[in-house]
Amino acid sequence: MSDYRFTELGKETRYSDHYDPSLLCPIARVKTRQSDDAKSLPFIGVDLWTAYELSWLNLDGLPQVAIVEFMVPCDSQSIVESKSFKLYLNSFIQTQFASIDAIQAQLVNDLSAATGAIVEVVVYEIAEYLGIQPIAEPQGICIDRQSLVIDRYHPDASLLDSDKSFEVEETLYSHLLKTNCPVTDQPDWASIYLFYKGPKIDREGLLKYIVSYRQHQDFHEQCVEQIFLDIMTACSPQALSVYARYMRRGGLDINPFRSTHLSRPPLFRQVRQ
């Protein structure tokens, strides 16, 4: 496993309530990928971050609040370590900005510089956010209620299988994905959604595989990429999208989406979010 002790997670927390972009801690994606060539990636997609706790002061000193969505391209040079992201957002608390447009421009500039790619940022007023990401489930099949004996809690791609003689197009999902922070070992909870076309994936094996991440330590983005790659290798779908909706921590959630053919995830959020 990679060593992430150099990140904010491995240091004494430095809080600031005045704007400080130096708090952002980029981590090169190449640290957790087998290839550093973005052109050779077997998927497209984004990491959709949602910040529910952004606040700043207007020019009269009156606090403002908003919800922000960030779209980080999966071919960016770096991700941003989540604790540093939270500290960075908190640094806006006592800083004056003239408008939401000014806040948005600053966020785009700072996050794009940190990740090495253009990050899309949308700042929503609270009332405006209603209906943007509705709480819903896609039309599909939840695979959680199976009678299974589970004995593996570290990722095991050998659990995956498919029926090559029978092709389908379906959505499968599970609320049982749990991974762990690679430094603190804190639990990270998620629901995971698979949209695929091709040989019918064995649902028993898929659920066992998802549960096998229960004691695995890695960042959200890398877990989803590994799940995508393992399913592609073991099940040979013609089309595949993997989308994890992780529960928020510190007012921030991370939702990686990887696909053979879609650049953006569907618009919904899971009921636990």
Contact predicate 212/156, CB 8 Å? yes
Contact predicate 167/198, CB 8 Å? yes
Contact predicate 108/121, CB 8 Å? yes
Contact predicate 4/10, CB 8 Å? yes
Q: In angstroms, how far is the first alpha carbon of the chain from the final one?
A: 29
Phi, psi of 46 (to 5 degrees): -145, 165
Strand 252-259 relative to strand 162-180, pairing: unpaired
For the chain, the helix, strand and coil percentages under 3-state DSSP, each to the nearest 5: 25, 35, 40
Sign of CA dihedral 104, 107, 111, 113: positive
- Determine how many CB atoms are found less than 10 A away from the CB of residue 130: 10
Closest CA to 191 of 113, 122, 124, 136: 136
Contact predicate 70/48, CB 8 Å? yes
Catalytically annotated residues: 181, 188
